[in-house]
Amino acid sequence: MEPRPPLTRRRALAGAGALAAAGALSPLAAGCSAPYDTVASDKTRLRFWHLYGGGDGVNMTAMLDAFAAGHRGIDLQATVLEWGAPYYTKLGMAGAGGRAPEIAAMHLARVPGFAPGKLLDPFDLDLLAELGVKPEDFTKEMWERGQFGGKQYAIPLDTHPMVLYYQTELCEKAGLLDGDGRLKPIESTGDFTAALRAVKKVTGGPALITETLGPDVVGPWRLFATFYAQSGGRVLSADGKRIELDDAKALKVLDYLARLGEEGLMLRRADYPGSIGQFSGGKFGFLLNGEWEVSTFKTAKMKFSMTRTPGLFGPPKTFADCHAFVLPHQEGRGGAPDRAAHTLAAWMLKHSVDWAKGGHVPAYTPVLDDPAYVKLKPQSEYRGVIDDVVLDDPAWFAGSASRMWIELGGVFSGVLTGTRSPRGAVAEARKRLRQLLDTPNPLPGAES
């Protein structure tokens, strides 16, 4: 997930099967191929499709401008498409026709749905190595999520996990900060409940806010997925073909979240924009959300900080996805345009300190020790989470803006708002997962 206007984000989370509608929603509605612009004969055309809006869009534009300025022999043509299902449908259709752009952005957990080898082409690892990018520059788990059949189909740019934001003044009054002004360790449900109660004594109201409802709501799924992963449970099998939801572990997480609402420690009803706005208003001590809102709160000049989501049910794992670079399928891919695509990916990785300003943790690990990144506050405070992020199990219907996020987000929303029992939510989640597993991948050229 990533910084973008919340309402646009919610509108974009439509069903991935709406193939025909996607063309109408896209700036490239005239066709499924990348636009062909006139290119000077002495330059190599490089078309890059991405879905970055909001603060991410500003950062990406600045980085692309810098790349273009330093690579005069490349005619970089960047096109922004609508975030979510419209983007992925358009990209899949372009790849199926072999008329795609040279390079594109993709969420790493969405790669399995793009039938690597059919809708995506593999990267040339020798060329990447020549450009200074090697597999050992990434965490093993993140790198391998881009592999299929022994080939590399995605190069991670970042990871964007769930984090815990906290209001420093409220937490200080509640006695929750250490001598350096950082949040004291929270290592169990008991610790977290106690912290919320301490803030409630200061404010007189709920201490925690998060997204719990709204059209195409996904926050409840991301919250559940984080704590469920800490318990050691998984939703699907390693190949994404079977349900492995552990009812006991799921109920333990959902029961706890339900109790937070019942006790008045967490606000039960808040849509995405409302959760951001109300936390900005200073009445809540804590916000659980993706790290991409850091720019929002810094712009508002709030007194806040961030830390990794605490381990309430086990090790402090957290749910995430990753932005990545992919090579959409082209007939006859190769030559100077392909080299330009690899060059862009390598350059962006090496300059991802600028990308990290929006809150994302760089996937290219040499950047994590770059003094310029370490100085970014509070962005670098949670960089250690890169070793503990958990992505969706591989399935065509999983990943950012996916059917699973929307389906299960709606199911778990009822638990957070108090309109559905935890046990009923687990049963309904199983039903929805079965329906998704029985539904063929709607992207052209992909297999179910």
What single-letter DSSP state applies at residue 122?
A: -
Task: Provide the H-helix boundaries in 302-402.
Answer: 335-350, 352-356, 371-374
Query: Do the Cβ atoms of 115 and 446 come closer than 8 Å?
Result: yes
What structural domains and CATH numbers belong to the chain?
Answer: 6-159+321-390 (3.40.190.10), 162-320+394-437 (3.40.190.10)
Return the bridge partners of 42, or none.
none
* pTM, to two decimals: 0.89
The pLDDT of residue 116 is 83
The pLDDT of residue 98 is 76
In DSSP notation, 17-70 reads T-HHHHHHHSTTTT-SS-------TTSEEEEEEE---HHHHHHHHHHHHHHHHH
Query: Do the Cβ atoms of 310 and 163 come closer than 8 Å?
Result: no
Q: How many CB atoms lie within 10 A of CB 33?
A: 15
Tracing tokens 């208003």 back to the chain, one arrives at 281
Query: Do the Cβ atoms of 143 and 155 come closer than 8 Å?
Result: no
Q: Is 264 left (phi over 0), alpha (psi -120 to 50) or beta?
A: left
Query: Which tokens belong to 257?
Result: 């979240």
Q: What tens-digit pLDDT sequence spans the chain (448 residues)?
A: 443 333 333 333 333 333 332 332 333 333 344 554 555 568 999 999 999 998 899 999 999 999 999 999 999 999 999 988 899 999 999 988 878 999 999 999 999 999 788 899 999 999 999 999 999 999 999 999 999 999 999 999 999 999 999 999 999 999 999 999 999 999 999 999 999 999 999 999 999 999 999 999 999 999 999 999 999 999 999 999 999 999 999 999 999 999 999 999 999 999 999 999 999 999 999 999 999 999 999 999 999 999 999 999 999 999 999 999 999 999 889 999 999 999 999 999 999 999 999 999 999 999 999 999 999 999 999 999 999 999 999 999 999 989 999 999 999 999 999 999 999 999 999 999 999 999 999 887 775 4
Return the bridge partners of 326, or none.
104
User: What is the bridge-based pairing of β-strands 44-50 and 361-362?
Assistant: unpaired
| Closest among 411, 226, 253, 241 to 321, alpha carbons compared | 226
Q: How many CB atoms lie within 10 A of CB 234?
A: 17
Amino acid at residue number 62: A
CA 424, 6, 299 angle in degrees (round to 5)? 130
What is the rounded distance in angstroms from the CA atom of residue 385 to the CA atom of residue 403?
26
The pLDDT of residue 447 is 58
CA 419 to chain centre: 28
User: What is the bridge-based pairing of β-strands 361-362 and 74-80?
Assistant: unpaired
Q: How many CB atoms lie within 10 A of CB 203?
A: 16
The pLDDT of residue 40 is 58
